[in-house]
Structure 1
């Protein structure tokens, strides 16, 4: 019965994803990036729309499962989704032994290659860079270094790694565990200490799972948005979903690598528009550090917004509100339409 319902739901979602517009695009294939065949999809109702390249989170969590939830975005942007090495179909095609080097520097280099491939394939000089969660670490570096490739940077679930000086999210988690009487979890997290750069991949994963499961809104989002998107994705078979989850586990090794970074030391000067759209109630990447970073950065234009009734995965819990921000604030800037002066 459950599998029958899944099949019917997937069939309906697949129908809703059909792009029939004469100037539309719906392509997906493996592209040779960094010496590895990596999966890239391109979808949109009108090729003349701005191109938006996503950097997914996780690590290892492809955004392709959210395609039905973000279907309306494709009326206003051409959406490029890339399964990074260690994630999704890229992981499935090569297995854990075939992913090559899995480091932040390698992902950064891959992202540049993907960007140039997309620019050439779609015939555009620049693309909008949209990064969420773990992808924002690479996203900020790309935006800082390569304004010649990107017309704007949009960060959501934005990580601001400050060289270990900000422990507010960790401290809040301990307080939440203490208040709920979760002694076993409190003991383990306390023993790990606040220095995330010293955590093992297993400890990093433990922290993320504990944050997710102990905050009611985040936990609800995981169940109603993430898990449902996985289960009903018309783009993924059951075997695909198994590989998807295996890729996330494999990619956990990336987690501790980011914690020694310091975004302030890397630079707060940007030469392109910067937009940060955060879930108002995000406990995994809280809005306060992102707002502080926004207030200190310099850019031709910068903007910050809170998405109500949203924790982590804000763009996918409230895709309608996120689209309003994209269309109302980002699109006029990158197209020059509706911008005064």
Structure 2
């Protein structure tokens, strides 16, 4: 019965994803990036719309499962989704041994190569760079370094890694564990200490899972948004989903690599518009560090917004609100129209 319901739901979602507009685009294939065939999809109702290139989070958690939830975005943007090395179909095609070097520098180089491929394929001088969660680590670096390739940077679930000086999210987690009487979890997290850069991949994963399962809104989002999107994705078979989850486990090695970064030391000057849209109740990448970074950065235009009733995965829990922000604040800028204020 469960599999029958899944089949019917997937069929209905697949129908809703059909693009029939005469100037639309719906392409997906492997593209040679960084010496590795990597999975790319391009979807939109009108090729003349601004191109939006996503950097997914996780690490290793492809955004392709959210395609039905973001279907309305495709009326206003051409959405490019990429399964990075270690993620999704790219991981499935090559297996753990075939991913090559898995480092932040390698992902950065891959992203640049992909950006140039997309610009050439779609015939556009620049693309909007949209990064979420762990993808924002690479996203901020790209935005700082390459305004010639990107018309704007949009970060959501934005990580602000300040060289280990901000331990507020860790401290808040310990407070939640104390309040809930979770002594075993409290003992383990306390023993790990607040220095994220000293954690092993397993400890980094433990921290993320503990944050997710001890905050009611985040846990609800995992169940109703992330898990449901995985289970009912019309783009993924059960074998695909197994590979998806294995890719996330494989990619956990990237987590500690990022924790010694200092976004302030890397630079707060940007030569392109910067937008940060955070879940108001996010406990994994809290809004306050992102707001402080926003307040201190300089850019031709900058904007910050909170998404209500949203924790982590804010763009996918509230895709309607996120689209309003994209259309109302980002699209006029990248389309060259200008904005109020």
TM-score class normalised by the smaller sequence: over 0.9
Matched residue SS, 1:304: strand
Partner of residue 268, structure 1:
268
- 1:81-132 residue CA offsets vs partner (Å, 9 max, x unmatched): 0000000000000000000000000000000000000000000000000000
Matched residue SS, 1:278: strand
Q: Note the C-alpha offset of 1:287.
A: 0.1
Rounded to whole Å, the distance in 2 between the matches of 1:151 and 1:231 is 35
Rounded to whole Å, the distance in 2 between the matches of 1:166 and 1:338 is 35
Rounded to whole Å, the distance in 2 between the matches of 1:7 and 1:30 is 26
- 1:169-217 residue CA offsets vs partner (Å, 9 max, x unmatched): 0000000000000000000000000000000000000000000000000
Partner of residue 233, structure 1:
233
Partner of residue 189, structure 2:
189
Aligned residues: CA RMSD:
0.8
- 1:39-73 residue CA offsets vs partner (Å, 9 max, x unmatched): 00000000000000000000000000000000000
Partner of residue 177, structure 2:
177
Partner of residue 81, structure 1:
81
Rounded to whole Å, the distance in 1 between the matches of 2:52 and 2:339 is 19
Rounded to whole Å, the distance in 2 between the matches of 1:333 and 1:255 is 33
Rounded to whole Å, the distance in 2 between the matches of 1:172 and 1:11 is 42
Q: Note the C-alpha offset of 1:340.
A: 6.4
Rounded to whole Å, the distance in 2 between the matches of 1:155 and 1:326 is 11
Tell me if structure 1 keeps the 8 A contact 2:329–2:339. no
- 1:292-340 residue CA offsets vs partner (Å, 9 max, x unmatched): 0000000000000000000000000000000000000000000023546
Matched residue SS, 1:329: helix
Rounded to whole Å, the distance in 2 between the matches of 1:8 and 1:339 is 43
Scaled by the length of structure 2, what TM-score is found?
0.99
Rounded to whole Å, the distance in 2 between the matches of 1:43 and 1:72 is 11
Partner of residue 153, structure 1:
153
Tell me if structure 1 keeps the 8 A contact 2:156–2:315. yes
Q: Which runs of 5+ in 1 are unaligned?
A: none
Matched residue SS, 2:251: helix
- 1:24-45 residue CA offsets vs partner (Å, 9 max, x unmatched): 0000000000000000000000
Rounded to whole Å, the distance in 1 between the matches of 2:77 and 2:96 is 33
> For residues 1-341 of structure 1, what are the structure 2 equivalents within 5 Å?
1-337=1-337, 339=339
Tell me if structure 1 keeps the 8 A contact 2:332–2:338. yes
Rounded to whole Å, the distance in 2 between the matches of 1:339 and 1:291 is 21
Runs of 4+ in 1 over 6 A off after TM superposition: none
Rounded to whole Å, the distance in 2 between the matches of 1:340 and 1:319 is 23
Distance 1:205 1:326, change over 3 A: same
Rounded to whole Å, the distance in 2 between the matches of 1:49 and 1:252 is 35
Rounded to whole Å, the distance in 1 between the matches of 2:127 and 2:35 is 23
Rounded to whole Å, the distance in 1 between the matches of 2:327 and 2:339 is 12
Rounded to whole Å, the distance in 2 between the matches of 1:223 and 1:328 is 30
